[in-house]
Each structure stands twice: as C-alpha cells, then as structure tokens.
Structure 1
Amino acid sequence: MIQPVRELRNFAAAALVEPVPRDHSEPDAAFRRRRVVTAVTLLVGSLVLGGTLRIPPGDDLFYLGGLALAAVWIAGGLAAGQLHVGWAHTRGEGFARPVVQPLALAALAVAVFTAGAVVVGQVDWLAGPINNVLDHARYGSLALVWAITVINGIGEELFFRGALFAAVGRRHPITVTTVVYALATLATGNLMLAFAALVLGVLTGAQRRVTGGVLAPIITHVIWSTAMLLLLPLVLDLVR
C-alpha cells in the first residue's frame, strides 16, 4: 500500500508542484508590449465569447462566432511574444516533452467532472446552464461543435496559460490567470461555465508553472473539453 501512495505523491509533485529549470526572461520593452497585447486581446475575446454563447442553439452563426473567438485567442497569444512548448520531469534525471502527465491529469479531471455532473444533473437550476451550452451540440452539428471546441481549447491555452501567464510575471501567475479566465468566461452569463473555468484554470495553470510551456495545458484542456462534450449529455439525460 505504501508504494502506490509514494508513486502518486511523486507523480503529483512532478506534474503539478516542482518546476523544471528554465530561464524565460525577456527585455522590459518586450514585457510591456506583451502586457498591452494581452490586455487588448482579453477585451476583444471576452466580448466575442459573450456574444457567441448567446447565439441560439442550431443557428449557423454559432460556428462563425466560435471560429472568430478561436482566431482572437490564437492571434493574441502568438502576437504577444514568444511562447514555449515546455518540458516535464521524467523518472530519471532528464526531461521530456509533457505528454503522459497531462493525459493522466485530463483523465482525472474528466472523472471528477463526470461524477459532479451526476449530482448537478439532479438540480434543475444547476443543470440548466450546462444544458444551454450542450444544446449547441444537440441541435447543431456535433462534428463542427467538437472541432470548434478543440480549436478554442488550444487558443485559450495559447492565450491564458501562454501570453497572459507570461505577462503577469512572477507574482501569483496561477491565481491571476485563473481569476481572469473565470471572469472572461463569466461574460457568457453562465455561472457553471465560470466555475468550470476556475477549476480548469488552476489545473492547467499549475502545469504551465511546472513545465514552463503550453503543451501540457493544451493536452489537458483538449482531452477534458472533448470528454465533457461527449459525456455530459449522456450523464445529464440519465439523471434527468
């Protein structure tokens, strides 16, 4: 019993606590420019996000809005300054690109959110906001909604855990980026989405701090959002 506990503790430390060594310092002028670009992108992205999720399910404008939103996050994330892929601890003394750890964390997040949906689905005022978002897949093209979900997941990580995380600096970047991410999501008027953004923001923010890059957050976000899109409608229908 001790060995599994030790393995779990070591995994958590490597994936979420102990940063890999790196030096991502940049000149003051580049740092100031990054902050200006991220501020403008955040304002525009929040407005586009709020407008997109207010489009009625089944309306083809939702697809255009989703693609526009992804374009804002991706363009802003890349334009703000250099982004890094990141490295992860291995069992030895070396480092590798972060793939296995974010996959495992994504699976854990999916399990937690799915279990939570069983409870939430039995409370109408909590399930309602979730169903409002899922209705875009129920009454539209699931394939297109999934593609937009994936592209936006990548874009959000490039911006929030990439450009914005670097623009915050060394003082509480996980807290600041998570709160900003949740507030931007709150522009949709959907409290359940904002709550999900808080939880996901902490998880991906910790990965960003440890790995020094955006690959791990992207993998976790894409796997989580894909699973939520496919699993939540089934879970909510079962408990309804």
Structure 2
Amino acid sequence: MLAWALRIPPGDPAFSWATFLLAGIWSAGALASGPLHLGRAHTRAGGPDALPIVQSLALGGLLVVVFALGALVVAQVPALSAQVNAVLDHARVGSLGLIAAIVAVNGIAEELYFRGALYAAIGRRYAVTITTAVYALTTAGTGNPMLVLAAALLGLLTGLQRRVTGGVLGPILTHVIWSSSMLFLLPPILETLA
C-alpha cells in the first residue's frame, strides 16, 4: 500500500485517499492487537509520574537538526536530491495543509503499529532491532533509498524511545515533530542549495 501510494503522481487526488487508507490499515492493525500504552518518563526529581513529552520534543528537535544538516549534503548530490524531491513533490503540487495532515496522521499510525503492536508482539529483547528492520524493509517497497534511510534512522530512535518509556506517546510525538518539520524545512533547503 505504501509503495502504491508513493507511486501516485503528485497532484492526483488518489494520493490523499491512498495515504489516509494506509494510516487506517496501520491503525486498525495496531488497535486490533490489544491495548497500547502511552508510556512514562522520569521527572527531574526522579519520579516516574510524567508523560514522555519533554523528552520527545527534544528528540524530535534533535532529529530535525540532524536531517536538516544531512539535507545540506543531499542537496549537492543530484541523485539523492531527486529521491527526496520525488516525495516532496506531493506537497509542492497539492494542498500543503492536506499534506501536513497526511504526514501527521501517518506518523501516528506508523508508531501505533511499529512501536506499539509490533514491538509488544516481539518481546523486549530484540524489539528495537526487529521493528527497525521491518519498518525499513516496509519502506523499501517504495523504491526510494532516501526514505529507507530515513525509516531506519527514525525507526531506531523511536524504537529506543519506546524501550525507555514503555509506550507509544514518545515515539508518536518524535515522529510527528520530525516528519512535519521535514515537510516544511526540506523544500527551501534543497531549493536554496540546488
């Protein structure tokens, strides 16, 4: 489904329906698997009373900086920038607000499935490795190596975050912050340096 959705030409209304359907598939699979936990984070005072919000904002911001710096390199390599631009073309041609909603909804759905249901089904010992690999392999179906690299890095970070917090809220926040920021930051970076 992911591969098909990303092969739909930019501007085609079918892209929106396909990506929302994909989010529905991920979410339905995750919710059918059983209860999903939000997770907890330790406070500065050492108590385990907080939701993992501050940590997630910091990790999301760090990931944005790393990918923005990576975009400086990608912009100089035409083969790589073409792969990134192939995805960003959907935002350039379509409604940016709709694409932002698609990015957020799919980020939530992917984390519910990969760092929620799949992570819980695997068991703790190899969950980070296996969920990261499955996420990257799923993304490989798009045929876009830059998306696969992004999935591997994001999957590893959110998998580790899931291990630390014990739930999906942290990975969801980190994913949505990262993907939404990339939607708005990558186009001007790539256009300025091209």
The match for 1:195 is 149
Q: Secondary structure at the match of 2:97?
A: helix
Letter in 1 for 2:176: V
* CA apart distance, 1:64: 0.4
Provide the rounded CA distance (Å) in 2 between the counterparts of 1:170 and 1:149.
Answer: 28
Structure 2 residue 132 is matched with structure 1 residue 178: yes
Provide the rounded CA distance (Å) in 1 between the counterparts of 2:105 and 2:89.
Answer: 19
The match for 1:134 is 88
Q: How does 1:52-67 map to 2 (within 5 A)?
A: 52-67=5-20
Structure 1 residue runs of 4+, over 4 Å off?
Answer: none
Provide the rounded CA distance (Å) in 1 between the counterparts of 2:74 and 2:145.
Answer: 13
Structure 2 residue 31 is matched with structure 1 residue 111: no
Tell me which structure has the larger Cα radius of gyration.
1
Structure 2 residue 119 is matched with structure 1 residue 165: yes
Q: How does 1:24-173 map to 2 (within 5 A)?
A: 48-95=1-48, 96-173=50-127
Provide the rounded CA distance (Å) in 2 between the counterparts of 1:201 and 1:73.
Answer: 15
Q: Which runs of 5+ in 2 are unaligned?
A: none
Structure 2 residue 172 is matched with structure 1 residue 239: no
Provide the rounded CA distance (Å) in 2 between the counterparts of 1:144 and 1:170.
Answer: 36
Report the TM-score, using the length of structure 1 for normalisation.
Answer: 0.80
Provide the rounded CA distance (Å) in 2 between the counterparts of 1:142 and 1:67.
Answer: 15
* CA apart distance, 1:214: 0.2
* CA apart distance, 1:93: 2.6
* CA apart distance, 1:90: 1.1
Provide the rounded CA distance (Å) in 1 between the counterparts of 2:62 and 2:123.
Answer: 29
Provide the rounded CA distance (Å) in 1 between the counterparts of 2:184 and 2:111.
Answer: 21
Letter in 1 for 2:75: G
Q: Secondary structure at the match of 2:7?
A: coil
Provide the rounded CA distance (Å) in 1 between the counterparts of 2:121 and 2:98.
Answer: 32
1:104-131 deviation line (CA, Å, top 9, x unaligned):
0100000010010011111001111100
1:31-87 deviation line (CA, Å, top 9, x unaligned):
xxxxxxxxxxxxxxxxx1110000001111000001100000111111111110000
Matched positions, count: 193
Q: CA RMSD in A?
A: 0.6
Structure 2 residue 180 is matched with structure 1 residue 226: yes
Provide the rounded CA distance (Å) in 2 between the counterparts of 1:53 and 1:236.
Answer: 20
Provide the rounded CA distance (Å) in 2 between the counterparts of 1:151 and 1:134.
Answer: 17
* CA apart distance, 1:172: 1.1
Letter in 2 for 1:164: L
* CA apart distance, 1:171: 2.6
Report the TM-score, using the length of structure 2 for normalisation.
Answer: 0.98
Q: Which runs of 5+ in 1 are unaligned?
A: 1-47
Give identity over the alignment, percent: 60
Provide the rounded CA distance (Å) in 2 between the counterparts of 1:138 and 1:58.
Answer: 9
